[in-house]
Amino acid sequence: MSGVATGAQDLPFSCDLVMKGGFTSGVVYPTAIAELAEDHRLHNIGGSSAGAIAAVGAAAAEYGRQTGGGGFDEFRTIPGKLAEEHDGRTQLQRLFVPQDGTAPYFELFFDQREISGLALGTRLGKVAPTLFTRGAALPGPGWALFLAAALPVAAVVWAVVAFSAGTIAFALLALLVGLGAYVVLRSVDGIKVVGTDVQDGLAENRFGLVSGRTVRDDIGLTDWLHDVIDRLAGDVRPKGEEGQPLTYGHLARHDIGLVTLTTNLSQAASENFPFSDQTWAFHPADMEALFPEPVFRHLMERGEAATESSHRQVELEEHGLLKLPPADELPILLGARMSLSFPLVISAVPLWRLVPTRDADGDWTVEYQKVWLSDGGICSNIPVHLFDSPLPRRPTYGISLGSGAISLEGLDGDERIAAEQQNVWRPIRTGAGGGAPVGQITGPLGFLGEVLNTMQNWSDNSMTRALGVRDRICTIRLGEGEGGLNLDMSADTVRGLVPRGTAAGKNLAWMLRGEPPAGVDDDKTPALRAQWVRHRWTRLRSSALGLDQHLDDLETGWSSYEVVAQAGPEASAMTYPDLVSEVGTLGYLPYASDWTDTATGHLRRAVDSAIDVPFGDSSTKSPPPFRRLVLSARGEPETDVEG
């Protein structure tokens, strides 16, 4: 294919796209997306953490393609620019620039991020001088010097009095022991000092070593991304909106959806961004510290307008807050920044939310409380469910990240891209990809590591291995020292990941293109050339079987006349049909006052009709097994609190 199309209307295919988080692993995404964009129109795009950055960039590029901005031609160049070196550091590494208050601990963190095996002594050798220096800098000789000197002084006195070779040797040994004790004790003091300083520095910097803002000559990640969005989207905005940052409203006018995930640590919940409710507010000082001036100015202007029209204006002003503008008016940069807040590395984002609370008298009220938003990958690192539906109109591609890449050193160009098909994987054939690999646990630390891994990823793993999902997710395998927390990847390593991204894009596009990418052995079977039709049939059959199983369970509860009687109101033993009929007499039921006889008739007929529909035989063991329906809201739940 010769190049990226200039108009979305001319493209033969369309898709949605979701990407996994992985910190610096995100450098593989631009070329994968640009490859898809050659003949795919991107509609809905989403991701977590580094995947959120890629999603925001892809949305801006799709907008730019349609309005005359840099588009995907510009997007494709990003990995190469990140590999450019200045003063011995790549541009990628320079984006993570700490603030002055956290700079002493930034390198310390990355030096110690992989303490293991033979490297332990080397790494401790790096950190020990820092700890001793900080401890020794404490005022006065302190208790450490007194205790460390007591034994050597006693030994020296003894050596002077006794004056023998043995006592002199013992005195020298005591001096060495005392010196060592002093170093150890002062290092312990240093640990305490550093621990306190790190906590204070992180708290002041919003719980991150890096805020994302520019420090002197080093452009920060957030400021860099703001510039990238402008280049991708171009400066063409609708009349009267010139100079504005690209917003969700601008995307919506071109039928481009963008959703990223953030983790609400204060309420222990995952949140989709932009938010669906109007309960949020912000403090101007936080936004000024975390976002570039054009974005901050836009938030202030829109926030002031939203506050003036809010019936809670007085309360907002008392707290020094502004109401968060509606979703359409929010810059898309917020979607990336809300999701990419890697815990304790990149600063979290504080907002305020209107929440129910008890006052001093025990009465319920609502008030604004501070809420901390962190990395979206804490709850879901690959939110492949974002744009899902039982019967999809277009594929939702997913790009995941894995390990175990093989080296292809020495290959270049198209030959390298073809060979990289060995480092990307998508389970296409029937039955492939359903099983989970078994991790090897060899010790207590490995055991605890797998506990944390399971806590974070079990939900994603279950979803991405599900029937009708796994065949549209391409996994890019990374090797040792590639991606993750490896900020210090060499320029060659960063550039070496570019063909792998292109290979992943070609592999995913194979679903609609029908022709396998170079490097894939094609046995000419129709199954591999009609993947989209096969995918739709699998989704139809598995969803029908899942619905049949759900309706079987519904029928069991609806038709049962043996409801277990519980202590409490007499109505607790009613069957479900009787409960529907008696709603009007049970005034304690929620929303009972709005219930009508007509609604009763509709509900009874609907359930009776639904349970009689033979969607399939979910009791059989024949493949494919039914896909159990997830009975939860997609997106964010509605709230009774009004902002």
**174 band by pLDDT with thresholds 50, 70 and 90:** low
Q: Check whether 630 has a pLDDT greater than 80.
A: no
Which pLDDT tens digit goes with each residue over 136-157? Answer: 554 555 555 555 556 566 666 6
* 186: pLDDT strictly greater than 50: yes
202, 194 contact by CB (below 8 A): no
Of residues 557, 560, 535, the one with CA closest to residue 627: 535
β 349-358/344-346 pair status: unpaired
Residue 365 has φ and ψ, to the nearest 5°, of -145, 180
**DSSP string of 496-518, one letter each residue:** HTHHHHHHHHHHHHHHHH-SPPT
Question: What token pair was written down for 299?
Answer: 């938030």
pLDDT at 455 over 80: yes
**Residues contacting 365, CB < 8 A, separation 6+:** 356, 357, 358, 359
Confidence of residue 87 (pLDDT cuts 50, 70, 90): confident
Residues 6 or more apart whose CB falls under 8 angstroms from that of 402 comprise 425, 475, 476, 477, 478
Phi, psi of 425 (to 5 degrees): -145, 135
C-alpha separations of 483 from 28, 119, 356, 506 in Å: 9, 20, 42, 21
CA-CA-CA-CA dihedral for 257, 263, 269, 270, to nearest 10:
30
**327/273 Cα distance (integer angstroms):** 9
Mean pLDDT of 496-512: 95
3-class SS at 68?
coil
* pLDDT > 60? residue 618: no
Reported as a single tens digit per residue, the pLDDT across 15-66 is 999 999 998 899 999 999 999 999 999 999 999 999 999 999 999 999 999 9
pLDDT of residue 629: 43
- The residue with greater pLDDT, 12 or 154, is 12
In whole angstroms, how large is the CA radius of gyration of the chain? Answer: 30
The confidence score (pLDDT) of residue 446 equals 86
pLDDT confidence of residue 120: 43
Residue 227, Cβ density class (10 Å: 0-12 exposed, 13-18 middle, ≥19 buried): exposed
560 pLDDT more than 70: yes
User: In this predicted structure, what is the pLDDT of residue 628?
Assistant: 46
Looking up tokens 């039982």 gives 390
Confidence check: pLDDT of 123 > 80 = no
Of all residues in the chain, what percent are helix, strand and coil, respectively (each to 5)? 50, 15, 35
- Whether 625 has a pLDDT exceeding 50, the answer reads no
pLDDT at 4: 43
Q: What is the pLDDT of residue 296?
A: 97
pLDDT band at 2 (very low <50, low <70, confident <90, very high): very low
Give the mean pLDDT of 127-144.
53
CA separation for the pair 582, 567 (Å, rounded): 19
Q: Under a CB-based contact definition with an 8 Å cutoff, are residues 398 and 509 in contact?
A: no
Rounded Cα–Cα distance for residues 499 and 74 (Å) = 17
**553, pLDDT greater than 90:** no
Instruction: List residues bridging with 355 in a β-sheet.
Output: 367
Q: Is the pLDDT of residue 522 over 80?
A: no
Instruction: Between 200 and 269, name the one with better pLDDT.
Output: 269
Does position 347 have pLDDT exceeding 90, yes or no?
Answer: yes
Structure token pair of residue 357: 């609370």
Q: What is the pLDDT of residue 326?
A: 95
**Average pLDDT of the segment spanning 386-396:** 91
Residue 359, pLDDT score: 79
At 466, the pLDDT band (50, 70, 90 cuts) reads confident
State how far the Cα of 311 lies from the Cα of 317, in Å rounded to an integer. Answer: 12
Q: Residue 209 is inside which H or E element, if any?
A: strand 208-210
Q: What per-residue confidence (pLDDT) applies to 434?
A: 77
Mean pLDDT (the chain) is: 83
Question: Would you state the pLDDT for residue 439?
Answer: 81
* Better-predicted residue by pLDDT, 163 or 388: 388
Closest CA to 268 of 382, 384, 386, 374: 374
CB 615 within 8 A of CB 607: no
Size of the chain, expressed as the number of residues it contains? 643
Q: Provide the pLDDT confidence category of residue 640 given band limits of 50, 70 and 90.
A: very low
Residue 515 vs residues 306, 417, 508, 520, 631: alpha-carbon distances, Å: 51, 16, 11, 10, 37
Q: How confident is residue 321, by pLDDT bands cut at 50, 70 and 90?
A: very high
Q: What confidence tens digit (pLDDT) does each residue in 278-302 have? A: 999 999 999 999 999 999 999 999 9
Q: What angle do CA 432, 435, 441 make, to 5 degrees?
A: 140
Identify the pLDDT of residue 117.
39
Amino acid at 592: A
Region 351-355: mean pLDDT is 95
pLDDT tier for residue 241 given thresholds of 50, 70 and 90: confident
Residue 519 identity (one-letter amino acid): G
Distance CA 619, CA 378 (A): 37
Which token pair is 195?
A: 């621990």
Instruction: Output the pLDDT for position 524.
Output: 64
Q: What pLDDT digit, counting tens, does each position of 332-341 carry?
A: 999 999 999 9
Report the pLDDT averaged over residues 84-95: 91
pLDDT at position 452: 87
Q: What pLDDT score does 594 carry?
A: 83
Question: Which residue, 226, 235, 228, is CA-closest to 68?
Answer: 235
> Residue range 262-277: average pLDDT?
94
- Report the pLDDT averaged over residues 113-131: 49
| Tens-place pLDDT, residues 572-617 | 778 888 888 888 888 888 888 888 889 999 999 999 998 888 877 6
> What pLDDT is recorded for position 251?
96
| Distance from chain centroid for Cα 627 | 26
Query: Comparing C-alpha atoms, which of 90, 82, 85, 50 is closest to residue 498?
Result: 82
Contact predicate 229/356, CB 8 Å: no
pLDDT value at residue 304: 96
**Distance in angstroms between the alpha carbons of the first and the last residue of the chain:** 50
